[in-house]
């Protein structure tokens, strides 16, 4: 199985080939969609795309850890993390169900 990453430029090209719009309009549309998505996640909202999945940001509390080089105890600061949860429908399709 060959691994290829689908890039923003690839998405613009695919949409451009399937529509009557010029490449600049398509690029602006894709960038607007991505900006909306990032803003939603930054504001602690879920981004739900039916049939694909859900992106959500949540806060992790500060926790104890250790420096692997010195084995010294350290405190890891609080931070935000983003997780992607695959939709049941897509998970079933991927697993041949």
Read off the pLDDT of residues 69-83 as tens digits, 9 standing for 90 and up: 999 999 999 999 999
Backbone angles phi, psi at 92, to 5 degrees: -65, -45
Domain with CATH 4.10.520.10 in the chain: 44-97
- CATH topology for 44-97 is HU Protein; Chain A (4.10.520)
- How much is the pLDDT for 32? 97
Read off the pLDDT of residues 8-61 as tens digits, 9 standing for 90 and up: 999 999 999 999 899 999 999 999 999 999 998 888 778 999 999 999 988 899
Confidence of residue 89 (pLDDT cuts 50, 70, 90): very high
pTM of the model: 0.71
- How much is the pLDDT for 2? 61
Q: 30 near 12, Cβ under 8 Å?
A: yes
């Amino acid at each position: 199985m060959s691994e290829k990453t689908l890039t923003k430029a690839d998405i613009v090209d695919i949409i451009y080939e399937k529509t009557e719009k010029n490449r600049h309009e398509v690029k602006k549309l894709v960038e607007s969609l991505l900006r909306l998505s990032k803003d939603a996640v930054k504001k602690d909202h879920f981004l739900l795309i039916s049939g694909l999945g859900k992106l959500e940001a949540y806060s992790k509390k500060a926790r104890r850890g250790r420096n692997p080089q010195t084995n010294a105890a350290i405190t890891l600061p609080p931070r935000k993390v983003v997780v992607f949860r695959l939709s049941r429908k897509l998970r079933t399709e991927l697993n041949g169900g």
